[in-house]
Structure 1
């Protein structure tokens, strides 16, 4: 009896934390992985768990027995199994409706998702007080028993944090992580019924549908912002990744909610739209007529920028930094990323801080879904960038805006002005992007190729439109200590919605 009950407390702690991480992976493709989203998720899990603890304390005092314990384990098992099946459709519906500005129906979808995520955690919370009640023989031992069970549950939580983080989500995916949790909880619940109360029919009533449906995958699974034929879809350590072919032959690399495009590729046509050519051609703005020798791209993704540079300047050494190794593989396979591009699978700041290399141009195009990583936009980071540039080197930074909502891009521009002598910008036409160019020397277009290729023609035609960044900077400086990038990004979202 003691071994079983202590095992249940360990499993409850394991399942609660594993479920929290898996829920995060389920919702981040739709709501993003910003600090506020994490804060709301953790708060909701804690609220659900504390409600379960309170409810479990009440029923354990009145009728705490193995039947009740096993029943809540099976309920948690059932809800855990339903989460990936119901959650995707609820979130898809909510996001699609939200962008159509039907806020009531969108709220209904988010409420459904909140309910289905809270119920399994609530059920697990109920089990801990019941276990403590069943193990407490005397009042004098109550404190020792409660402390022991909490310690065991915490040990389970530690394992429940590590298993999905380092193994299950990467190896078997989010859906099967939930199903794994469901089967473990279902097995524990059935064991309680069979071994101690012999009432196993209710247990099989839950576990058999799980076994029957474990291989089910919705055939009509939709993604609100994915248009075209999906060539590849999988989860990585950092993203849910899509490779999509459009009707015109264009191939897009998208991550998470699919609202933005990380990389594009066409086997024949030059990519002349979006932010990519403005970033690729940034080396033409250096204060020299010499061809660049060494260019760094931070946030390589599928390699659109790196490929355009190599197509224009085959002899230039182009190095890419990309934290997600799967994006590198997809770039090689689908996006025409040349083998000659050297790639570091690291965080951009970590890489720059660990190398003494100097670059003629550094291109910063790193995003976590719709959010630029805050530590790649601070005064301290731009100082590191400046120290890794040649004297006439230039940095190009890709930012986002929405019409007149430019708080985020202005903050980046003001921070660049703290470090670099010259800062220019251009709003990319028909886009939400603003590109900043910063250098310690003057900035302007310089012709380098005798036979102008597509990239140089683009640069000569479009980079003449760059303008000095003259924003009045007051409290817009981003630092490692204070960089409200998520808040400023959310201002863009709300501006687009309202």
Structure 2
């Protein structure tokens, strides 16, 4: 779920240097930069059996000081989904329930700071096998796939994958499963290097996906010594304690829990993480998009790890 948030200066070990993509995935050093393998988001077109209600190429929609072109609108069992395109930059936006779920440049690279923050954290952890719960436009999966990470995405809405592939460049090599995240974890036994939780119903994470029992289940699907879980938690303002509530639940499962946040910002994305996270530092921009890279770097420069607090009712 997209609420533009910001990232940070380094804390902790000042000798640490952000790994380059070549360091993380040596094979990338031999390839040309950011090839999209012919999977650039396609131009808008009608699908054979799609319940698409509009494709207005000349419809201008004002949003966050941008002029948007509505590319498509879908009715689904989980709410209406709009695909928008920014007239100035050409970026694609996935909007559901009035919320921006994803935004990417014309090559499928996210232009959302918190996605780059997660990408940078996963780079530090040197993951090779990642499960994402929640698809949206799938930009994080696209970015991970391009540098050789095995990616599995689970989403309860089958239209999400269709839209992500058609407009957002989600590669065919990304393993996609139509399922509730909890049900998927219960049904499998595979262990991942990392699980990324970014699933929303409107502005909220579904209750069963932020329950302590769910986090306990997720722990059993992570590699014992090196696995990490990262959750994107929306915070409306500093008095919104939802990120801290999630951190408390994680702390009942894992010994090491950390919270990356921007105090003072409104409608922001806080990243709550658990597992082998003690040595992680503030992420930096590793895969710049073709638009908005400078703004992303500025926002990444504002993130900071902060102490999390036990809410009174949870004490």
TM-score, normalised relative to structure 2:
0.69
Contact 1:239/1:255, CA 8 A, preserved across alignment: yes
Work out which of the residue numbers 75, 79, 83 in structure 2 matches 1:243.
83
Look up the match of 2:269: 433
1:172-226 Cα distance to aligned partner (Å, 9 max, x none): 89x9xxxxxxxxxxxxxxxxxxxxxxxxxxxxxxxxxxxxxxxxxxxxx998969
Residue 309 of structure 1, CA deviation: 1.4
When Rg is computed on C-alpha atoms for both structures, the one with the higher figure is 1
Structure 2: 5+ residue runs without aligned partners? 1-48, 54-58
Matched, 1:363 2:196: yes
C-alpha distance in 2 between matches for 1:349 and 1:439: 19
More strand by share: 2
Equivalent of 2:231 in 397, 404, 407: 397
Q: In structure 2, how many angstroms separate the alpha carbons of the residues matched to 1:242 and 1:333?
A: 13
Q: Give CA-to-partner distance per residue, 1:294-348, whole Å, 9 cap, x none.
A: 100000122011112123x22x210000110101100000001011100111000
Q: What is the SS of the residue equivalent to 1:400?
A: strand
- What residue ranges of structure 1 are gaps of 5+ in the alignment? 1-169, 176-220, 478-498
Alpha-carbon separation, structure 2, partners of 1:224 and 1:453: 31
Map 1:259-338 onto structure 2 (within 5 A).
260-268=99-107, 270-286=109-125, 291-311=126-146, 313-314=147-148, 316-338=149-171
**Are the aligned partners of 1:252 and 1:263 in contact in 2 as well (CA < 8 Å)?**
yes
Q: Distance in 1 between matches of 2:302 and 2:60?
A: 42
TM-score scaled by structure 1? 0.45
| Count, aligned residues | 248
In the superposition, relative to structure 1, how do residues 172 and 303 fare at CA in structure 2: closer, same or farther (>3 Å)? Answer: closer
Greater displacement, 225-234 / 394-403: 225-234
Distance in 1, Cα, partners of 2:208 & 2:128 = 27
Structure with the larger helix share? 1
Residues 226-257 of structure 1: CA deviation (Å, up to 9, x unaligned): 9511101020111101000012111100112x
Distance 2:190 2:218 in 1: 11
- Residues 237 and 462 (structure 1 numbering): CA distance in 2 closer, same or farther, change over 3 Å? same
Question: What's the counterpart of residue 26 of structure 2?
Answer: none
CA distance in 1 between partners of 2:119 and 2:51 (Å) = 37
Counterpart residue number, 2:279: 443
Query: Partner residue of 2:243?
Result: 409
Cα distance change of structure 1 residues 298 and 326 upon mapping to structure 2, 3 Å threshold: same
